[in-house]
Amino acid sequence: MKYVFVYGTLRAGEINDITLAAARHAIREPRLVGQSSVAGRLYDFGRYPGMIADAQAAPVLGDVYEIDEALVPVLDEIEEVHPGVEGEFLSCQVNVDVQGAQIECLFYPVTQRAAQGLPQIHGGDWIAHRLAR
């Protein structure tokens, strides 16, 4: 089993809802562990957000899921992360705190270049931002 921190369209109810993505591929349903945050800057790409981790920045809200390893390639495909190909998103590891427990998670930040010139989302919550637009 692996853990993933999702902050944008992979969150429940969003266009790439992680639970629905697993169901489409007949993969065991992800288990929501809880909410957490990662220090970073969140950017508005229009239909989706992108985050750049930055220890000096405000928290970006997200959800932590325990997932079956078989879901990782599906998430990579959604985020268009392919070995040897530089895209907008990266596949990285981050440690998060969920109710006092430290959990190492997979997460998908964007490259500095991808976010260049885009508006920053203040408040750190993609869903609240999208709903307020």
Domains identified in the chain, total number: 1
Residue 7 backbone dihedrals phi, psi, to 5 degrees: -125, -5
Token pair, residue 65, equals 């899921």
Measured CA to CA, the distance from residue 104 to residue 94 in angstroms comes to 6
pLDDT in single tens digits along all 133 residues of the chain: 899 999 999 999 999 999 999 999 999 999 999 999 999 999 999 999 999 999 999 999 999 999 999 999 999 999 999 988 889 999 999 999 999 999 999 999 999 999 999 999 999 999 999 999 8
Query: Which range marks the domain in which residue 70 is found?
Result: 2-132
CATH number at residue 121: 3.10.490.10
Task: Output the pLDDT for position 83.
Answer: 87
Find where tokens 């709903």 sit: 131
pTM for the full predicted model: 0.95
Considering only CA atoms, give the Rg of the chain. 14
Task: Output the pLDDT for position 88.
Answer: 96
